Amino acid sequence: MKKGDGIYVLGIESSCDETSASICHNGKILSNIIATQAIHTQYGGVVPELASRAHMQNIVPVVDQAMSAAGVGLDRLDAIAFTQSPGLIGALLVGAGFAKSMALSLEVPLIEVHHMQAHVLSNLIAEPKPRFPFLCLTVSGGHTQIVHCKDALNMEILGETLDDAAGEAFDKTAKLLGLPYPGGPLIDQYAKDGDPTRFHFPEPQIEGLNFSFSGVKTSILYFLQKQLKTDPEFINKNLHDICASAQYCIVNILLHKLKKASLKTGIKTICLAGGVSANKGLRASIKKMAEKYQWDLFVPDMEYCTDNAAMIAITGYHKFLAGASSPLSVSASARAHW
């Protein structure tokens, strides 16, 4: 065997509409190439069939770019890590099939990675790193979870959404306002100049640490229907305040539960992960909360918050160190528990 200067892991991510590849060397990310599939915008959401086809086109050039950006040849790779679940099954199968072929031909271990665990471990990419144990609020278009991370490979979900994810709540609200998909970033943008206390959308009363966002969408829908009856221009006239008020409500739901989880576990090292971490209202409020409750707060760079292969590569690296590998018969799965 080659090698000699540490562990090189190639990570591959293809669970939704981003084709991504990354090289991790001894726990440090050398490259992280992400090809975002623009084709879905015109359909108002991700079209699974189109996502699979785009992954097929992107995967070879994306892996090539990740290897050359890292200055690493095929013969240096020690393991191939890939997103095994959860996600769109056709999209996952492209990454899984490609990773299996590479592992087989290079005769290196294949390592399956759970996408949501990888989101949590995106917090281990930059310095300073959080110390274990920590809590991670993972907020994306498909998931909303509070995870108790005991060490890199030992995690427990303390709470999760019972219906829509936080990102979906943003995107569905945006849709009601006539904004294009994905509307989360637009809500954030309009909210900047709006009054978050102008309209009140109630927080659902859910026991424990679970979340629910479907009621938020419904209350905004009914509110808009009522207002539009008397003023058809209501949305245009009040867009900034509606966005600010909706964002305020979603952020409050998230942080209320996070605070509860910290008090319940006594853990004050708090991390954020997932695409919704980009939200400026969430970032500002979590920072304030961290000051108030003396949390040690970690928020990954945006490149590592949205879907990316660096988080897959770093998770693969930790699994490799622990001696984990998957049989070549492993398949992808749309849903899988940890």
140 touching Zn ion, by CB under 5 A: yes
Q: Which lies closer to ligand KG4 via its Cβ, residue 108 or residue 273?
A: 273
In degrees and rounded to multiples of 5, residue 230 shows phi and psi of -95, -25
173 touching ligand KG4, by CB under 6 A: no
Return the range that interacts with ligand KG4 (CB under 6 A); candidates 24-32, 163-171, 213-221, 259-267: 163-171
* 157 Cβ neighbours under 8 A, 6+ residues apart: 145, 146, 147, 148, 338
Binding residue count for ligand KG4, defined by CB under 6 A: 19
Return the range that interacts with ligand KG4 (CB under 6 A); candidates 19-27, 179-187, 203-211, 216-224: 179-187
Return the range that interacts with ligand KG4 (CB under 6 A); candidates 51-59, 95-103, 268-276, 313-321: 268-276
In degrees and rounded to multiples of 5, residue 180 shows phi and psi of -70, 165
**Alpha-carbon separation of residue 127 from 122, 130, 131, 216 (angstroms):** 11, 9, 11, 37
Min dist. Cβ of residue 85 to ligand KG4 (A): 13
Which entry of Zn ion, ligand KG4, none binds 194, CB below 5 to 8 A by partner kind? none
Q: What is the number of other CB atoms lying within 10 angstroms of the CB of residue 233? A: 9
In degrees and rounded to multiples of 5, residue 113 shows phi and psi of -130, 140
| CA atoms of 41 and 181, how far apart (whole Å) | 6
307 touching ligand KG4, by CB under 6 A: yes
Q: Which lies closer to ligand KG4 via its Cβ, residue 142 or residue 194?
A: 142
Q: Which lies closer to ligand KG4 via its Cβ, residue 123 or residue 306?
A: 306
| CA atoms of 116 and 147, how far apart (whole Å) | 10
| CA atoms of 250 and 36, how far apart (whole Å) | 26
Q: What is the token pair recorded at 23?
A: 């090289």
Find the binder of ligand KG4 among 9, 10, 16, 21 (CB under 6 A): 16
Which entry of ligand KG4, Zn ion, none binds 170, CB below 5 to 8 A by partner kind? ligand KG4
164 touching ligand KG4, by CB under 6 A: no
Binding residue count for Zn ion, defined by CB under 5 A: 2
Min dist. Cβ of residue 135 to Zn ion (A): 18
Is 164 in contact with 213 (CB distance < 8 Å)? yes
Which entry of Zn ion, ligand KG4, none binds 11, CB below 5 to 8 A by partner kind? none
Find the binder of ligand KG4 among 147, 278, 313, 332 (CB under 6 A): 278
Is 229 in contact with 118 (CB distance < 8 Å)? no
Which entry of ligand KG4, Zn ion, none binds 188, CB below 5 to 8 A by partner kind? ligand KG4
Min dist. Cβ of residue 240 to ligand KG4 (A): 15
Q: What is the token pair recorded at 208?
A: 């424990």
18 touching Zn ion, by CB under 5 A: no
Please report the beta strands in the chain, taking only residues with DSSP state E, as ranges in sequence order.
8-13, 18-25, 28-36, 79-85, 110-114, 134-139, 144-151, 154-160, 269-273, 296-298
Residues in 74-103 at the binding interface with ligand KG4, rule: CB under 6 A:
none
Return the range that interacts with Zn ion (CB under 5 A); candidates 86-94, 139-147, 178-186, 286-294: 139-147
| CA atoms of 320 and 322, how far apart (whole Å) | 5
Q: What is the token pair recorded at 205?
A: 């009363």
Min dist. Cβ of residue 295 to ligand KG4 (A): 21
Distance of alpha carbon 76 from the chain centroid = 29
Residues that bind ligand KG4 (CB under 6 A): 16, 140-142, 167, 170-171, 182, 184-185, 187-188, 274-276, 278-279, 306-307
